[in-house]
Amino acid sequence: MVKLILNGCNGKMGKVVTSCLSDFENIVLVAGIDKNDSKCSYPVFSSIEDCNVTADVILDFSRKEALKSILKYSRSKKMALVLCTTGYSNEDIDLINEYSNYIPIFRSANMSIGINVVNNILKNIAPFLYENFDIEIIEKHHNQKVDSPSGTALLLAHTIQESIKDSTELTYGREGNKKRDPNEIGMHAIRGGNIVGDHDVIFAGSGEVIEINHKAISRDVFAVGALRACEFISNKYKGLYNMDDMINL
């Protein structure tokens, strides 16, 4: 049985994770961390430092500002960590990499199995299409999302960049009078309503257009992927893991 602490338990995704737990017989939620007080079936602490409950894994669906405290706590308790928060800086990522030398850490910009299948497809087709196709990425999210472009859009863009031998640049939106440079990968963000998450990767060529779309119609897909990651990481050795590791396994 995997004992789980949920950081951000009273947020939107935290509540979805709690509701999806009934489908995971091998996971028990033993504690939550959240500044917002709310009645839960498990003890909730206002900060990670106050938590005195023994567990195997911390699942983080909070804000990037909580990263340092979560890393320190996980290392001190020798607990595995699943990071689902986005918007990390390069300094944050360096810190995550450093702590992975001491504890097992699972990090993904998107916990959906589907989006990570799309990401693997892009690794294979982008090198072949790049020479004759312009690449544009459009992402759409709800009006409360704070980071832009989305972590998922950056994940897809970086995967494309890493698979192409030529040097490319990410262009964030466009304005003014200038033709598109061949080495650009366009990045466009839309915020509105309660859109859960919609990502389009467009390969526009001469006489044909290829579009790959992933649409999340429910936050459940992210919760289920995160809980699967908790099962996956619970018995792993120190190191940095991602969705590719879980999918390939």
Q: Give φ, ψ of 187 to 5 degrees.
A: -125, 125
Q: What percent of the chain has pLDDT over 70?
A: 100
The pTM for the full model equals 0.80
Per-residue pLDDT tens over the stretch 46-68: 999 999 999 999 999 998 899 99
Q: What is the pLDDT of residue 196?
A: 93
From the list 208, 197, 202, the residue with the least C-alpha distance to 12 is 197
171 in a labelled binding site: no
Q: What is the mean pLDDT of residues 89-116?
A: 94
8 in a labelled binding site: yes
Quick one: fold of 2-111+219-248? Rossmann fold (3.40.50)
Q: Please name the residue that has the structure tokens 């338990």.
A: 9
- Beta partners for 19? none
110 in a labelled binding site: yes
Find out if CATH 3.30.360.10 is the number for domain 113-216: yes
Q: Where are the domains of the chain?
A: 2-111+219-248, 113-216
- CA–CA gap between residue 170 and residue 209 (Å, rounded): 20
Higher pLDDT, 180 or 249: 180
| Collapsed DSSP state (helix, strand, coil) of residue 118 | helix
Q: What is the mean pLDDT of residues 163-177?
A: 94
188 in a labelled binding site: no
Please spell the DSSP secondary structure of 147-164, one letter per residue.
Answer: SSS-HHHHHHHHHHHHH-
Q: Is residue 38 over pLDDT 90? A: no
111 in a labelled binding site: yes
Distance of CA 24 to the CA centre of its chain: 21
18 in a labelled binding site: no
243 in a labelled binding site: no
State the catalytic residues: 141, 145
Q: What is the pLDDT of residue 164?
A: 96
Q: Please name the residue that has the structure tokens 């459009």.
A: 138
Q: What is the pLDDT of residue 36?
A: 81
- Note whether 2-111+219-248 and 113-216 share their fold: no
Q: What is the pLDDT of residue 244?
A: 86
